[in-house]
Amino acid sequence: MLESNLKAVNDDVKKLIKDAQSLFLAAADLTGEKAEEMRDRGMRLLDKAVATAQEAQASVRVAGQEMTDSAESYVKENPWRALATAAGVGFVAALVLTKR
Protein backbone atom coordinates (compact mmCIF):
# COMPACT_ATOMS: atom_id res chain seq x y z
CA MET A 1 0.00 0.00 0.00
CA LEU A 2 2.81 2.40 0.90
CA GLU A 3 4.56 1.69 -2.40
CA SER A 4 1.44 2.44 -4.43
CA ASN A 5 0.93 5.70 -2.51
CA LEU A 6 4.55 6.68 -3.14
CA LYS A 7 4.20 5.89 -6.83
CA ALA A 8 1.06 8.04 -7.02
CA VAL A 9 2.81 10.93 -5.27
CA ASN A 10 5.85 10.52 -7.51
CA ASP A 11 3.64 10.58 -10.61
CA ASP A 12 1.83 13.69 -9.32
CA VAL A 13 5.10 15.51 -8.67
CA LYS A 14 6.44 14.60 -12.12
CA LYS A 15 3.23 15.87 -13.73
CA LEU A 16 3.35 19.14 -11.78
CA ILE A 17 6.97 19.71 -12.77
CA LYS A 18 6.23 18.89 -16.42
CA ASP A 19 3.30 21.33 -16.42
CA ALA A 20 5.48 24.02 -14.86
CA GLN A 21 8.19 23.44 -17.46
CA SER A 22 5.62 23.77 -20.25
CA LEU A 23 4.39 27.05 -18.77
CA PHE A 24 7.92 28.42 -18.52
CA LEU A 25 8.65 27.47 -22.12
CA ALA A 26 5.44 29.15 -23.29
CA ALA A 27 6.17 32.22 -21.16
CA ALA A 28 9.61 32.57 -22.75
CA ASP A 29 7.95 33.53 -26.03
CA LEU A 30 5.59 36.02 -24.41
CA THR A 31 6.17 39.45 -22.95
CA GLY A 32 4.38 41.67 -20.54
CA GLU A 33 1.56 40.80 -18.21
CA LYS A 34 0.67 37.47 -19.84
CA ALA A 35 4.26 36.21 -19.51
CA GLU A 36 4.39 37.27 -15.87
CA GLU A 37 1.09 35.50 -15.21
CA MET A 38 2.38 32.27 -16.78
CA ARG A 39 5.66 32.46 -14.83
CA ASP A 40 3.72 32.99 -11.60
CA ARG A 41 1.52 30.00 -12.36
CA GLY A 42 4.59 27.92 -13.12
CA MET A 43 6.16 28.92 -9.82
CA ARG A 44 2.97 27.97 -7.97
CA LEU A 45 3.03 24.55 -9.65
CA LEU A 46 6.65 24.05 -8.65
CA ASP A 47 5.89 25.13 -5.08
CA LYS A 48 3.03 22.63 -5.00
CA ALA A 49 5.33 19.88 -6.31
CA VAL A 50 7.89 20.63 -3.60
CA ALA A 51 5.22 20.64 -0.90
CA THR A 52 3.80 17.34 -2.15
CA ALA A 53 7.25 15.75 -2.17
CA GLN A 54 7.94 17.02 1.36
CA GLU A 55 4.63 15.60 2.60
CA ALA A 56 5.45 12.23 1.03
CA GLN A 57 8.90 12.31 2.63
CA ALA A 58 7.40 13.01 6.04
CA SER A 59 4.85 10.22 5.58
CA VAL A 60 7.55 7.73 4.62
CA ARG A 61 9.67 8.81 7.58
CA VAL A 62 6.75 8.24 9.98
CA ALA A 63 5.94 4.84 8.43
CA GLY A 64 9.59 3.81 8.65
CA GLN A 65 9.80 4.85 12.28
CA GLU A 66 6.62 2.90 13.07
CA MET A 67 8.05 -0.22 11.42
CA THR A 68 11.33 0.22 13.31
CA ASP A 69 9.49 0.62 16.61
CA SER A 70 7.35 -2.42 15.87
CA ALA A 71 10.37 -4.58 15.02
CA GLU A 72 12.24 -3.38 18.09
CA SER A 73 9.24 -4.13 20.30
CA TYR A 74 8.87 -7.61 18.80
CA VAL A 75 12.53 -8.42 19.36
CA LYS A 76 12.37 -7.22 22.97
CA GLU A 77 9.25 -9.32 23.63
CA ASN A 78 10.49 -12.40 21.73
CA PRO A 79 14.30 -12.42 21.81
CA TRP A 80 14.73 -16.17 21.24
CA ARG A 81 12.21 -16.28 18.42
CA ALA A 82 13.88 -13.28 16.77
CA LEU A 83 17.30 -14.93 17.14
CA ALA A 84 16.02 -18.20 15.68
CA THR A 85 14.39 -16.35 12.78
CA ALA A 86 17.58 -14.42 12.03
CA ALA A 87 19.63 -17.63 12.17
CA GLY A 88 17.16 -19.36 9.85
CA VAL A 89 17.28 -16.53 7.34
CA GLY A 90 21.09 -16.54 7.50
CA PHE A 91 21.17 -20.30 6.94
CA VAL A 92 18.87 -20.10 3.92
CA ALA A 93 20.86 -17.20 2.49
CA ALA A 94 24.08 -19.18 2.92
CA LEU A 95 22.55 -22.18 1.14
CA VAL A 96 21.39 -20.04 -1.75
CA LEU A 97 24.73 -18.27 -2.09
CA THR A 98 26.83 -21.45 -1.92
CA LYS A 99 24.78 -23.13 -4.68
CA ARG A 100 25.74 -20.37 -7.11
Domain count, the chain: 1
CA atoms within a 13 Å half-sphere pointing along the CA-CB vector of 57: 7
pLDDT over 70 at 14, yes or no: yes
pLDDT over 80 at 29, yes or no: no
Between 53 and 4, name the one with better pLDDT.
53
pLDDT at residue 64, rounded to an integer: 87
Q: Where are the alpha helices (DSSP H) in 2-31?
A: 2-28
Neighbours of 90 (CB within 10 A): 10
Buried b (16+ CB within 10 A) or exposed e, 17-30: bebbeebbeebeee
pLDDT at residue 100, rounded to an integer: 67
Task: Convert the pLDDT of each residue in 39-90 to its tens digit.
Answer: 788 788 888 888 888 888 888 888 889 999 998 998 899 999 989 999 999 9
pLDDT at residue 2, rounded to an integer: 63
Domain of residue 27 covers 2-99
